[in-house]
Structure 1
Amino acid sequence: MARNRRGARRRPKANPRGVVSVSAGGFGFVQTAEGEYFIPASSLGGAFDGDLVEIAPLRSGARKKGRSAADEGDMSGRPAARVLSVVDRAHDTVVGRYEVAEPFGVVVPADPRIPYDVFTMRAEAPEVPDGALVRVRIAQFPTRRSAATGFVEEVLAETSDAPRAGIDLIIGRHKLETVFSEGALADAAAAVLDEEGALAAGYRDLRSRFVFTIDPADAKDFDDALSLDFLEEEGLWRLGVHIADVSHYVPWNSSVDLDARRRATSVYLADRVVPMLPPALSDELCSLAPGVDRRSMTADLFLNDEGELVRYKLYPALIRSKARLSYGEADAMLLNGRGGLAAGAGGAANGAGGDAAAGGDAAAGGAIAWRLAECSRLAKLREAARARAGGIDFATTEAKVALDAEGRPVDIVLRKKTDATRLIEEAMILANETVAGFLEAKRFPCIYRVHEAPASDALGSLIPVFQEFDWFARPMEARLVAGDPKVIQEILAASAGRSEGELVSSLLLRAMKRAVYRPENLGHYGLASEVYCHFTSPIRRYPDLVVHRMLRAALARRPEKFDQEVAALPWIAEHSSDMERVADEAARQSQELKMVEYLAAFVGQSFSAVVSGVASYGLYVRLDCTAEGLLPVRALGDEYFFFDAARYQLAGDETGATYRLGQRIAVMLKSADVATSSLEFALAGPR
C-alpha cells in the first residue's frame, strides 16, 4: 500500500549559519551559503561581532511593535533575518570604560560593534576607579531577557580618554602581555656578559673586525650587525652576519623563556613596543650597541665577486660594533659614493667608546662607506639571482605615523625599499637560508619558515580579469594556474606603470598564502628558497631563538632537556604563527587608529584614492598615505549598483558607471571616527 506522503514526518530544515559582522550602527550582516542576510539591531539576540550564529529569515513585511523588518532594513535589498542562537563565541573578554553604578561596575564596550554593557559587582573590585579602561571577562553572555555579566580581569589605564588610551584598547583587545613575571625579570637582571667565560667556552674573538649596524632611526634593540672584508688570497668576500646570542641568556624552560614563549614575538605598535624579552635583555645586554662587547652567533658567508655563496662558517663569537647607522644615513652614504660619511650621518655613527665614534673619524667613515657600497653591490647581485630562480617581489609601501611626545599624530611617513634596506634584507635572507640548509643537511631539528605556493583555484579566478588586458596572452593562463612564479613576475612587469597595475598587483598579492612556521621543511615559494628559517631576529621572534638553540646544539653538544624542546617544536611553530598574526593585526590597527586621528583634521578635503576593495555595500578606497576607508554604495548615486564578484566591480544599472578594484578616483573625506578607527568617503565633485 502506498504511503501517504502528506502524513510523512519531514526532516527539519537546517537554518543558515555564518559569522555575524556588526556595524557601529548596531545592525549586522551574516554571510551564509545561501547568501548574505541583514540583521536588524533588534534581532541580534545577544550576538557579538565575529560570533558564529544560526539565523532564521524574517518574513517580508513582518511587523514587530508597529515596525516592519523593512523599517530597520538594508538599503541594498538584502533579505532580513534574526539570530536564533550563537553557535560559537568570538569573545570571552571585552575592553571598555568602567562606570560606577552601585552596587555595580558597568563596563561599556569601547568597540561600538559590541552593543551590550557588561555588569560586574562593584564589591568584587572596589579599587577600580570610575572612568578607567578595563578588560572584563564575561561570565554570562546577554540574552533577550538578561544582561551580560562578568568580572574585571585587568585595569589597562586609569582613564579612558588619555591620548594613549586608543593603543591601550588595542593591547587589551588582543590580550597582549605587557608585564613580565617576577621570575623573568630576575633572570634578566642576573644575566651577565662574561667575556672571559665566553672565550673559554670556545667563542671566537672578533672584536677587531669592523662591525656595524643599520636599523630604523628609532630602534632600541639591535639584533643584527654586518661586517665585510675582502680576502685577497682567496679572491672572496667574507660577509659576516652577526646575530645577538639570545640563547645564551634564555635557556629552555627558564622563567624568562616561558614568558618569551607565550608572547612569541615583540609587537611594534604606533606609540610603543611590547617586547618579547625584558628590556634588560632586549634593549641592553643582547642588543648589539656600538662600542660595547657582545656575544653573537655569527655566519661568515664567503662570496665570489658575482655574489655567489662559495662556503660558510657558523660559530659563536664576541663582537664589538664600531658604528650604528640609520637606514636614511646609510642611503645618504651610498648616494654619495665612497668618499666618507655623508653630511648628517655622523651623529648616528657615534657610539659609546673610542673607535665607535665613526662620525668624528674620517678613516672610520671611509671604512663604512666602501663596505656599504660593496654590500649593496653584492645585495643587488643576490636579488637578481633570486629573481631568476623565481623569487617574487611585490612593490609595497609601508606607512608609519609620526607622533609627538604626548602620543598625538603629527605626520604620516611613507617607507619604500631603498638600497640600504635591500642591503640588510639580502644579507639576512642569505644567512637564514644558510642556517636552515646546514640544519637540514645534518638532519637536525629546526623550525622552518614555510611559504607554500598559492592555490590553483585562487590564481585561476584571476584569469577573467587579466583577459581584459592585451598584455595577458593565452599561454600565460596554464602557467598561472600552475603557480609558475616566472609568469607572476611577467604579469607584474607587464602591468607595472599601467592604469591596471594597482589592480593586478593587489589581486596577485591576495592570492598568495601566508608564510607560517613549521617543524618540517616545505620551502619558501615567495623567496624561491628550497630551505628557509628565521635566524636573524632572536630578540623579537621566538622561532629565531629556537633556531639558535638548535644551531648551538648542532655545533657543540645537545644540552639537558634538549629532547623536551624538540618534542614541543610542532606546538611552538603553530603558536608562533598564531601570535605573529595577532601581532600583525594589533600593529596594523594601531597605525590605522593614529592615521584616523591625524586625518580628522582633513574632513571635507578631497584626495586622490585607489579602489582597494569592492563589496555589495560599497567601495574601500586607499589614499596615497595608505589610509583606507569606506565609500558606501549610497554615495555612488541613486541608481542600483550590481556587484560583480568575479570582476571585482560595481556597475550602475542606469548609467553603466563602473568602479573596480585598482581604479583611481577622486574622493572627499566625509568623516573620521576615532572611536571605530574608520574613515568614510564620498565622491569628490559633482556626480
Structure 2
Amino acid sequence: MTEIRDQIIAYLQGHAKGKRKLKDIADALKMSSEKDTAFLKKELDAMEAEHLLFHTPENQYETREQAGIFEGRISMNRAGMGFLDREDQDSIRIESKEQNTALDGDTVLVQCQPWEAYGRVVAVLQRNKDHVIGTFVNGSQGLVFQPDDAKLQGRLIKIICGKDFAPIEGMKVLCSIVRYGTPLQLRVEQTIGYKDDPGVDITSILLDHDIEAEFPAEVMAQVHDIPQEVQEKDLAGRTDLSKDITVTIDGDDSKDFDDAVSVVKNDKGWVLKVSIADVSHYVTWNSPLDLEARKRGCSTYVTDRVVPMLPHELSNGICSLNPHVIRLTLTAEMQINKAGEVRDYKIYPSYIRSTERMTYNNVNKILDGDEELQKRYSNLGTLLSDLAECADSIRRERKAKGAIDFASAEAEIKVDEKGHPIDIEPKERGHAEEMIEDCMIAANVTVANFLKWQEIPAIYRIHEEPSAKRIKNFVNMSEQMGHKLVIGKADIYPNELQRYLESVKDTDEYQVLSMMMLRCMQKARYDSHCVGHFGLAEEEYLHFTSPIRRYPDLVVHRMLRKYSFEQCTDAEERKNDEQLCQAYAEQSSVRERESSDAEFACDDMKKAEYMQDHIGEKGEGIITGVTGYGFYVELANTVEGLVRLSEMHDDYYAYNPDRMELVGQRTKRTYRMGMKVNVVVLAASKEDSTIDFGLCGKNGKVLANHKDPRDKRDARRKQRRNVKEGRKRDGRRKRH
C-alpha cells in the first residue's frame, strides 16, 4: 500500500463518523489546492474500486472494519443458504437473494453489522469455479441439464450448445460458466462420457477439481528427451552413497519411490541418512515439465487411480529410487543421540543404489520375528532393527516436545475391474509406517532449520495454533462426554492437547474426541515465512521428502542447490526468489485443497455406492456428529451415515446446540457424541454421495453394553444424593 493510502486509512481509523468526508480527509492531509483535491479524490475512488474503502450515502468514507465488512469463502447448503465463517464469532448467514451472484466456495466480501445475524455479499473477489459438470436427464419437457453439484440443482440454468452437439440421456459433460447470476449461463465444452460407463464417475470428480489426467504434448516431448539412466557426468560433485545399505519402504502397490533411508549405530546414537530423489536435476525451472507440475501442485490419489504431478515415465522411472540402480539424490545426514535429538547434520547432493525395495507389510513382519523374511533379507544385516530403535527414539523425543498424534481411520476401498466397490476396511498402520514417518519428519525439520538460519528463500509448511473459540467449544463438548480438559487462559500449547488425548486413549470416545480435536485445528498450509507447526510442536518445518508428488518439495530442492550447493550470493536474485516462493506457496495450498477435496469426494461417492448393495443390513457404530436434523454414525469400516430425525418416531427430539445432543421430550432418551448405537442401512445414493441409517432395537435403544461416562457420573451423584436424603430422614426419625 502506498504512503498516501496508509495516511488515508490511519485518518479514517482515528476519527469518528461525521468527520470522514472528502474535505475532512483533505484538510487532515493538508491537501488544499484543486490539484491536490483531485488527486485525493482519484485515490479514494481507486481504493473504493478495490474494496479497501466504502462510500456511504452520507458521503462518508469507511474502512472495511468500520463498514462491517468481512472477507472469506462463502459456503452454501443444499437449501441455498450461505454462510461465512468468522474466527471467534458466529458464522454470518446470507440468504440467496443477498448472495450477489456468488457460488459455493467463492471468496467474497460480506457486510454484516455487529447487531446483525444476516449479511449481504457486496463483492465477489475470486471465483472458486469457472466450470460446471453435469448430466443430461429426462425431465417433464424433455432432456434437461442436471449439475452434479447438488447446491446448483435448484438454480435456474441456461445451456449454450454448439450447432452440432446432440445431447443424449445419461451423457455427462463439462460446461464453462459464461455468465454468473440468474440464470447461470453455461456452454458445453467437453463430453466426458456416459454416467454408467466404468471410470466416468471418478473422472468427472477429478475434472470438477481441475485435475487433468493427461499431460500436454510439450511436457511429454521434454520427458522423452530425458535419459532413463543416470549419466556419468551427473555424478560429478556428489557424495557416493552407493555402497551404503539403503532401502526404500513403501506400500505394496507403490510405484514411485522418492525417499530412501540408511542408518548406522555409533557410540553417540545413530547416523541416519534420509536420501530423497533429486527431481530438480531433471525438472528444470520454468520448463514445460515444471510449469505443469506447478499447475498441478501435487499428485492426487483416488480409489482406482493416481493422477501424478509428474508423468509416470519420470515418477516411476529415472526419478524413482528403484532397487539395484544408481539414482541421484539429496541427502539429509543426521546424528541422532540416544534421546532422539538431532545433534548435528549436513545436507548435500549424493547418489545411491537402493539395496532393496521393502514394503511396510514385510518390514512389520520382520520386526515381529518372521524367520522366513528375515532370512530372505539377511543382506540388510541389522539395518531394520537399528532403524526401528532410531525412529522410536525420535518419536519419543517428538512426543516429549508435545507433538499431537491424532487418531484417524483412513479407508481402503477395493473395487472390481469396472470400478465398483466390493469391500471397505480401515487401513492398517504398523510400526514400519511410524518409523518412516518419524525419519521423514526429522529430515523435514532439519532442512527447515538449515534454510531458516541460512536465510535461504523457501516454502515452509506452517500450522498455526487453533482459535480460542474452537478450543473453548471443544472443552465444553469434552466435558459433556465426561472428560475434562484443562488449558491455560492465554496461549494454547500442543503438549496440553497431547496429554489430554493420552488420557482418553483407552476410552470408547477416543476416536470421536480425537476427530473433534482435529476439526478444531487450523488447516496446515504453505508459506514463505517460517511460523512453526503447532500440531508437530516444531518451530521450523517444511516439506523436503516428496518432490515426485509435491511441488513445494521440488522448490525446496532448487533453493538448496542454488544457495547452498552452488553458493549464489546475488541479493536481487534472493529477493526475487522470496517473492516467487510466496506465490508458489499460495498456489500449492490451493491445489492441495482441491486435490484433498477430490479424494474425499471420490471416497464418499464410492462408500455410498458400496452401501447401495447393503440396504437392510445392520451394524454397530459410534455417533460422530449431532445436528438439528439428526446425527451421524460411523461404522467400524469408516462408512458414515445420517440418522434423520424424521426416522426417529418414538419421541419428539429437541436439539441442544450447547451440549450438542438430541433429547426426547417424553422419554428423555438422549443421543450425544461418542455413544454407540445399532443401525440399519435404510438408503444410499451414489449420485448424492449420501447414506441414511435408521436405529435398530426397541425405540432406537442404545447398545446396552455401552457405558457413557456421564451415566456413571450421574449415577454416583444420585447415589450420594440418596445417601444424603436418607441421613436426613434418619435424623428426623431420631428426633421424633
Residues 615-630 of structure 1: pairs in structure 2 closer than 5 A: 615-630=627-642
Q: Structure 1 residues 665, 140: CA separation in 2 closer, same or farther (over 3 Å shift)?
A: same
Aligned to 1:158, the other structure's residue is in SS state strand
Letter of the aligned partner of 1:153 in structure 2?
E
Q: Is the 8 A contact 2:160 2:188 kept in 1?
A: no
Are positions 1:289 and 2:322 aligned together?
yes
Match of 1:136 in 2: 175
Aligned to 1:324, the other structure's residue is in SS state strand
Separation in 2, partners of 1:330, 1:517: 32
Separation in 2, partners of 1:203, 1:54: 52
Q: How many pairs were matched up?
A: 614
1:119-140: per-residue Cα shift (whole Å, max 9, x none)?
5444356498875422101224
Letter of the aligned partner of 1:430 in structure 2?
A
Equivalent in 646, 670, 690 of residue 658 of structure 1: 670
Q: Is the 8 A contact 1:460 1:480 kept in 2?
A: no
Match of 1:110 in 2: 148
Determine what percentage of the aligned residue pairs are the same residue.
34
Equivalent in 515, 525, 538 of residue 534 of structure 2: 525
Q: Structure 1 residues 369, 481: CA separation in 2 closer, same or farther (over 3 Å shift)?
A: farther
Equivalent in 495, 509, 515 of residue 524 of structure 2: 515
Q: Is the 8 A contact 1:459 1:481 kept in 2?
A: no
Aligned to 1:568, the other structure's residue is in SS state helix
Match of 1:432 in 2: 444
Are positions 1:123 and 2:158 aligned together?
no
Separation in 2, partners of 1:198, 1:236: 33
Letter of the aligned partner of 1:398 in structure 2?
E
Equivalent in 602, 607, 613 of residue 614 of structure 2: 602
Are positions 1:237 and 2:237 aligned together?
no
Match of 1:94 in 2: 132
Match of 2:561 in 1: 552
Q: How far did 1:539 drift? A: 0.3
Are positions 1:341 and 2:377 aligned together?
no
Aligned to 2:486, the other structure's residue is in SS state helix
Match of 2:644 in 1: 632
Letter of the aligned partner of 2:451 in structure 1?
L
Q: How far did 1:29 drift? A: 4.3
Q: How far did 1:426 drift? A: 0.5
Letter of the aligned partner of 1:341 in structure 2?
L
Separation in 2, partners of 1:34, 1:277: 40
Aligned to 1:375, the other structure's residue is in SS state helix
What residue ranges of structure 2 are gaps of 5+ in the alignment? 1-56, 59-67, 85-89, 111-117, 700-736
Q: Structure 1 residues 222, 150: CA separation in 2 closer, same or farther (over 3 Å shift)?
A: same
Match of 2:352 in 1: 319
Q: Structure 1 residues 36, 255: CA separation in 2 closer, same or farther (over 3 Å shift)?
A: closer
Separation in 1, partners of 2:234, 2:533: 35
Match of 1:506 in 2: 515
Q: Structure 1 residues 140, 442: CA separation in 2 closer, same or farther (over 3 Å shift)?
A: closer
Q: Is the 8 A contact 1:244 1:296 kept in 2?
A: yes
Letter of the aligned partner of 2:607 in structure 1?
M
Aligned to 2:488, the other structure's residue is in SS state helix
Q: Structure 1 residues 617, 480: CA separation in 2 closer, same or farther (over 3 Å shift)?
A: farther
Residues 24-63 of structure 1: pairs in structure 2 closer than 5 A: 27-30=79-82
Separation in 1, partners of 2:558, 2:120: 52
Q: Is the 8 A contact 1:453 1:525 kept in 2?
A: yes
Are positions 1:273 and 2:306 aligned together?
yes
Letter of the aligned partner of 1:647 in structure 2?
R
Separation in 1, partners of 2:666, 2:105: 36
**TM-score (norm: length of structure 2):** 0.76
Letter of the aligned partner of 1:212 in structure 2?
V
1:529-577: per-residue Cα shift (whole Å, max 9, x none)?
1211100000000000011111112332267977644321111111111
Mean Cα deviation higher: 104-113 or 214-223: 104-113
Separation in 2, partners of 1:303, 1:389: 16
Q: Is the 8 A contact 2:457 2:574 kept in 1?
A: no
Q: Is the 8 A contact 2:230 2:326 kept in 1?
A: no
Q: Is the 8 A contact 1:22 1:48 kept in 2?
A: no
Q: Is the 8 A contact 2:459 2:527 kept in 1?
A: yes
Q: How far did 1:197 drift? A: 1.0
Separation in 2, partners of 1:242, 1:22: 46
Q: Structure 1 residues 135, 163: CA separation in 2 closer, same or farther (over 3 Å shift)?
A: same
Equivalent in 545, 550, 558 of residue 541 of structure 1: 550
Match of 2:87 in 1: none
Are positions 1:220 and 2:255 aligned together?
yes
Q: How far did 1:648 drift? A: 1.7
Residues 206-605 of structure 1: pairs in structure 2 closer than 5 A: 206-231=241-266, 236-336=269-369, 339=371, 341=373, 362=375, 365-368=377-380, 370-468=382-480, 472=484, 477-479=486-488, 482-557=491-566, 564-605=576-617
In angstroms, what is the RMSD of aligned CA positions? Answer: 3.6
Are positions 1:154 and 2:186 aligned together?
no
Separation in 1, partners of 2:382, 2:489: 42
Residues 189-200 of structure 1: pairs in structure 2 closer than 5 A: 189-192=224-227, 193-200=229-236
Separation in 2, partners of 1:217, 1:86: 52
Q: Structure 1 residues 478, 219: CA separation in 2 closer, same or farther (over 3 Å shift)?
A: closer
1:8-39: per-residue Cα shift (whole Å, max 9, x none)?
x99xxx9xx9967454xxx4445587997998
Q: Is the 8 A contact 2:404 2:497 kept in 1?
A: yes
Q: Is the 8 A contact 1:198 1:318 kept in 2?
A: no
Separation in 2, partners of 1:661, 1:49: 28
Q: How far did 1:260 drift? A: 0.6
Q: Structure 1 residues 187, 128: CA separation in 2 closer, same or farther (over 3 Å shift)?
A: farther
Separation in 2, partners of 1:579, 1:35: 27
Separation in 1, partners of 2:499, 2:168: 60
Q: Structure 1 residues 548, 49: CA separation in 2 closer, same or farther (over 3 Å shift)?
A: closer
Letter of the aligned partner of 1:295 in structure 2?
L
Aligned to 2:680, the other structure's residue is in SS state strand
Q: Is the 8 A contact 1:460 1:481 kept in 2?
A: no
Q: How far did 1:583 drift? A: 0.9
Match of 2:10 in 1: none
Are positions 1:180 and 2:219 aligned together?
no
Separation in 2, partners of 1:597, 1:86: 40
Separation in 2, partners of 1:235, 1:647: 53
Q: How far did 1:182 drift? A: 2.1
Match of 1:644 in 2: 656
Aligned to 1:458, the other structure's residue is in SS state helix
**TM-score (norm: length of structure 1):** 0.81
Aligned to 1:238, the other structure's residue is in SS state strand
Separation in 2, partners of 1:54, 1:543: 30
Separation in 2, partners of 1:194, 1:386: 37
Separation in 1, partners of 2:587, 2:165: 36
Separation in 2, partners of 1:617, 1:37: 20
Q: Is the 8 A contact 2:264 2:271 kept in 1?
A: yes
Q: Structure 1 residues 86, 319: CA separation in 2 closer, same or farther (over 3 Å shift)?
A: same
Mean Cα deviation higher: 600-609 or 634-643: 634-643
